[in-house]
Structure 1
């Protein structure tokens, strides 16, 4: 007899906007799993679950969930699954949960680029409407330094390819990823990529150093020093200043995660000046909130 703790391989992560989604864990870990700042999947070997196991778990959830509109496919890069198998999984989800209105997943730029446009369109037609992309930075030197495994050009190409296939895309970048070093190139090039992509959703998180990561090791060796809250706000201000979304387009922006020193919420281009005003006020008046460090430990 299956129970929830037999189905989920912990730790289990999902984006904040998937708080009320049913999580179906069809892969374990991350297909890349080499980023210097990330600890999310370090203790997991990347695995694609057997199709029969996935179907049994979907059946388990169907027996226990009366109605669900949103489904999130975990772990870190479900799109990497070979397309025929992924389509079979999606068919089974749609058969068992015909009421679902949106399926979403994390997708690495590499997994998007590995798919043909036709494959991506088929996946979209099966109900995957939203893909989450961890961009982290639009600067190639930063991407190399954090061992992201892709270039800014590849991130841009993958994001536009996903949009062309009909997906909504949610892009996340990390402020403070450069530490105390000059973050000007990171900020300016990140804004350039956002201007090219025009994602549906855009979020800025702040660097959180976790024990056992490569960045943590560098800190202990004196090779990396974290940026101050004020410097991170100035970095975010530079990103926001240089984001220029054309009128008629809309990018839903959030910078209100527990890692952030200032909560920002609104849309580009409509609320750009409001964002800048709030950032400037916070810097001028030393209004930099305390991060929820206890929450961020997990």
Structure 2
């Protein structure tokens, strides 16, 4: 065998760039979000134990310089508890030097795990769960077919934190279109305040032709925000976000204004930077440098 077994499009959070990417599922268990084109045409399934084991052995032999593991794809937490226990145990046996395992979890898969089950995963090395929130606005969540309410998202976030795991959430600028831009920003800031995650990653919506939202925009039923409108949305969101600690990032490749805000101390300074950018005094990232 030569190398790891990857199928389809494998994605990971930016912060997992230096991790062993271990693909344990193919696709996403929800796969209905109107803005996401990652797993189109991909039927969700769990990979065979034999393939996962072979990849763990390969990583143990050839990737021992990496200290973290990320379990891909879209929602590895949906795996039945015995299989997750087995995978984490194998990682621990074969790669005892691994400091942290991370994965994506949606609200449904988090809430299907009892607090005790999440603690058992933590004890076996799971350290961080990435949760795609996108918006704190119930109407927007419905429109983008997220399949979850703000209340359930808050409950899921709380469960992760109470199990002693780090929580990293992503939210999307521009996802509400022009009409609800500031409502979306405000509601998202308020949701983040209640959730109080360790990390918030702000991404900017980029329309893809193979998605429902991309087709809506094509038909003139959805409007992408301009640069200043996106900055105003970011400002409003940050203004309403009260975190007791942690980092608020907008340094993803899709964003025009990269920020890394240590909360709560650097919040005021960041709001000033956004105001400066709105007045044209801060250089924004050129269009050709932006990426998903």
| TM-score normalised by length of structure 1 | 0.94
Alignment-derived partner of residue 150 in structure 1: 148
Gaps of 5+ in 1: none
Offset at 1:43? 3.1
Q: Per the alignment, in what secondary structure is the counterpart of residue 132 of structure 2?
A: strand
Alignment-derived partner of residue 112 in structure 1: 110
Q: Per the alignment, in what secondary structure is the counterpart of residue 172 of structure 1?
A: strand
Offset at 1:18? 0.6
Offset at 1:219? 1.1
Offset at 1:290? 3.7
Query: Matches of 1:106 and 1:291 in 2, distance apart?
Result: 30
Query: Matches of 1:77 and 1:237 in 2, distance apart?
Result: 30
CA contact (8 A) 1:259 1:291 kept: no
Q: Per the alignment, in what secondary structure is the counterpart of residue 247 of structure 2?
A: strand
Alignment-derived partner of residue 13 in structure 1: 11
Alignment-derived partner of residue 249 in structure 2: 254
Alignment-derived partner of residue 30 in structure 1: 28
Query: Matches of 1:293 and 1:168 in 2, distance apart?
Result: 34
| Among 176, 180, 183, the residue aligned to 2:174 | 176
Q: Per the alignment, in what secondary structure is the counterpart of residue 37 of structure 2?
A: coil
Query: Matches of 1:69 and 1:279 in 2, distance apart?
Result: 35
- Count of aligned pairs between the two proteins: 292
CA contact (8 A) 1:230 1:288 kept: no
Query: Matches of 1:289 and 1:68 in 2, distance apart?
Result: 33
Moved more, 147-156 or 41-50: 41-50
CA contact (8 A) 1:68 1:97 kept: no
CA contact (8 A) 2:207 2:213 kept: yes
Pair 1:61-2:59 in alignment: yes
Pair 1:103-2:101 in alignment: yes
Alignment-derived partner of residue 282 in structure 1: 277
Alignment-derived partner of residue 259 in structure 2: 264
Offset at 1:291? 4.6
Query: Matches of 1:233 and 1:16 in 2, distance apart?
Result: 21
Q: Deviations over 1:51-79 (max 9, x none)?
A: 12211221122222233211100001000
Gaps of 5+ in 2: none
| Displaced runs of 4 or more, over 3 A | 290-295
C-alpha RMSD over aligned residues: 1.4
CA contact (8 A) 2:122 2:163 kept: yes
Offset at 1:198? 0.7
| TM-score normalised by length of structure 2 | 0.96
Q: Deviations over 1:228-253 (max 9, x none)?
A: 010010011111111123xxx31211
Alignment-derived partner of residue 3 in structure 2: 3
Alignment-derived partner of residue 230 in structure 1: 228
